[in-house]
Amino acid sequence: MARKISNRRKLLTTIIAWVIGLLLFFPIFWTAVAAFKTESDAYTLPQNWLSTPWTLENFGIVQERSNYFRYVFNTSVIVILSTLLGLVFAIPAAWSMAFAPNPEGGSKISSLGWLGIVLGSLAICFVALYFNNWKPTNAVIGILLLFIFVVPASLWAWSRNTHNMLLWMLSTKMMPPAGALIPIYLIFNRNGLVFRDWGWANWGDYNIMDSFWGMVPLMTLLNLPIVIWMLFTYFKEIPVGILEAARMDGASLWNELSRVLTPMALPGIASTCLLNLILSWNEAFWSLNLTNKYAAPLSFFISEYSSPEGQFWAKLSAASMMAIAPILIIGWFSQKQLVRGLTFGAVK
Amino acid sequence: MATKQAQALGKWALAPSVAVLAAWSFVPLALTLYFAFLRYNLQDPDNTGWAGFSNFYYFFKDPYFLKDLANTLLLVGGIIITTVVGGVFLALLLDQPFWGRGIVRLLMISPFFIMPTVSSLVWKNLLMHPVFGLFAGIQKYFGAQEAIDWFGRYPLLSVGIIVSWQWLPYAALILLTALQSLDEEQKDAAAMDGAPAISFFRYIILPHLSRPITVVILIETIFLLNIFAEIKVTSVGGFAGNLTYLVFSQLNDATDVGMAAAGGLVAVVLANIVSVFLVRIVGKNLEA
């Protein structure tokens, strides 16, 4: 039974809510209006919208000057490929944790096994050092890191139970980019000493700085924890009973996955894609640091307007509208699903 | 229960994600740790070797360090207070019945989808410009002689306002979702008992929201520690830089990899303090 609310109170709430809503939206509205004005009109206050000669020329100028469509293309390539790549990794992982969980931690590695892993890693490091005439150059340090950290860490993580595995994946999202910026920057940049010292400079001009080869995997990794989490919460809601019924009826594992699970999982996958799309479309830290021309996305394109010459507000507004419009519309449609993805399921 | 076959498949289905995430989370961190103890400047390739703790020493002695650390904490703290208080208010408002709820909801949530570079430049120029900006225009309309030079005089506050504008919808949306899961009957019962609005808020709404508020605070902290684009694009890094910006400028302007790495480690430690709590809360929820 809903409480009865007087019309007068409803009217009051309506007014307050609309005023606040319009105020919060106002900067976007103001930008949209300025995008259709001439430069000198954009600077004029108070504005007179009746006498303003509305124009579309700003959009043309923006395209002509800085080739907007190339940035849209770049953003789309990064966003779409990284989303697809993310799904390739995340769907099996989320499926595994939701439907075949390991409550007590699956592949337990015995203490002898761990000893073997550690000794093996050390042995490989020594071999690497030996072939490098006992000089600890960066190449050797790279191999060292790989074996000292990544292999044991993967095995350790892999032997966790599902609960801890999920939390560990979440914690990887919390590393601040400032902590990873330096190595990533140097690895991406062939002029950085890392490649020079590692002797990998023989790859010639191969350089993943400012290229899709660098940005797409990076964007995938940035969002992978969120994608896995969100898919996991969606998969969790699919009743296991249906799967069991299919199994009872003699469906093979493949049929169970493709005929029963996939159709039920599709809506969840779709909204995960939308969230990933929004996050990577708006990503700015890595885009500003690692791109400047060939793979530069829209956030870089807009940042070019931070040091312009002459009057530029109308052009800035036009460029801004073109950069945010697609994602704003997608965001409006997917706002309900966002909550789930952005709180790691902690608020439903 | 999953079959043996599914269990075995599940183990291997998980492996690729575990491997890439392990690589992503451990390799850069380990390299940062390694660089932090090296003499390593991109402009000075002959100066190499171990640096001991001198990178940390000089990073902490850098006059920008304390200032930027203070800026970081001020930004995070200020924005969280603004967004959570505003978010609770907005959530309560949007939970009331009124005409055009769906549209107002869309209007309010919109700032969250705006690219950080766009919102920085739009606010800095169209709104906060000391001569032509809208705020200046309003001030002059009300008879002010000289308008506030937002980014000139209050760079930190200006960045804080922009970022709060972006994150307020996030807090509001999540608190609203939590509010809507409040039992209708509980509301009815309170209304029937004639509970005044304030005690209804104090004893029913606030306890119900305590966990979502904690989640919002923790997640925002993680993201707000890394504010970067807003500072870089508005070119206030020298006055309102935070730790992330300081690390960037050590790498980009001073090209000192060692110092930047030392700074990166400080940022990692700060973020870890928060993430421990967040992971614990999320973990508790996972069991329920």
Q: What is the pLDDT of residues A269-298, one digit of tens each?
A: 888 898 889 889 999 999 998 888 888 899
* 8 A C-beta contact, residue A20 and residue B94: no
Q: Looking at the predicted structure, is the pLDDT value of residue B217 above 80?
A: yes
**Token code pair at residue A36:** 């259709």
A337: Cβ contacts below 8 Å, ≥ 6 apart: A271, A274, A275
Cβ–Cβ gap B263/A178 under 8 Å: yes
Q: How far apart are CA A157 and CA A174, in angstroms?
A: 17
- Is there a single domain that holds both residue A52 and residue A131? no
Q: Residue A93: which of B13, B272, B275 has the nearest Cβ?
A: B13
**Token code pair at residue A142:** 């790279």
Q: How far apart are CA B165 and CA A329, in angstroms?
A: 19
In a domain, A347, yes or no: no
pLDDT at position A308, please?
67
pLDDT at position B171, please?
92
Domains parsed from chain B with CATH numbers: 35-40+51-287 (1.10.3720.10)
Task: Please name the residue of chain A whose CA is at the shortest distance from the CA of residue B14.
Answer: A93
**A190: closest CA of chain B, how far (Å):** 12
Give ∠ CA B143-B148-B151 in degrees, rounded to 5: 160
How many independent structural domains does chain A possess?
2
* pTM reported for the whole predicted model: 0.86
- Is there a single domain that holds both residue A282 and residue A180? yes
B100: Cβ contacts below 8 Å, ≥ 6 apart: A14, A17, A18
- Is there a single domain that holds both residue A196 and residue A326? yes
**CATH number where A263 lies:** 1.10.3720.10
B183-211: average pLDDT: 80
In a domain, A237, yes or no: yes
Q: Amino acid identity, residue A288?
A: L
Q: Residue B6: which of A100, A182, A288 has the nearest Cβ?
A: A100
* ipTM computed for the complex: 0.88
Q: Looking at the predicted structure, is the pLDDT value of residue B162 above 70?
A: yes
Q: Residue B19: which of A154, A185, A316 has the nearest Cβ?
A: A154
- Chain A residues with CB under 8 Å of B134 CB are 30, 45
pLDDT at position A28, please?
94
Q: Does A141 touch chain B (CB under 8 A)?
A: yes
- Is there a single domain that holds both residue A297 and residue A172? yes
Compute the residue count for chain A: 348
B244-253: average pLDDT: 90
Q: CA–CA distance from B191 to each of A10, A77, B65 (Å)? A: 17, 54, 53
**Token code pair at residue B241:** 């830089």
Interface test with A, best of B4, B17, B69, B255 (most A CBs within 10 A): B17
pLDDT tens sequence across A236-245: 888 888 888 8
pLDDT at position B264, please?
92
Q: Which of residues 24-43 of A touch B (CB under 8 A)?
A: 24-25, 27-28, 30-31, 34, 42-43
B84: Cβ contacts below 8 Å, ≥ 6 apart: B171, B213, B216, B217
Cβ–Cβ gap A14/B99 under 8 Å: yes
In a domain, A348, yes or no: no
Residue where one domain finishes, among candidates A159, A190, A221: A159
Cα-atom radius of gyration of chain B, to the nearest Å? 24
**B198: closest CA of chain A, how far (Å):** 17
pLDDT at position A206, please?
56
Residue A88's domain comprises 7-105+160-342
Q: Residue A181: which of B20, B106, B264 has the nearest Cβ?
A: B264
pLDDT tens sequence across A32-89: 988 888 877 777 777 777 677 788 888 888 888 888 889 999 999 999 999 999 999 9
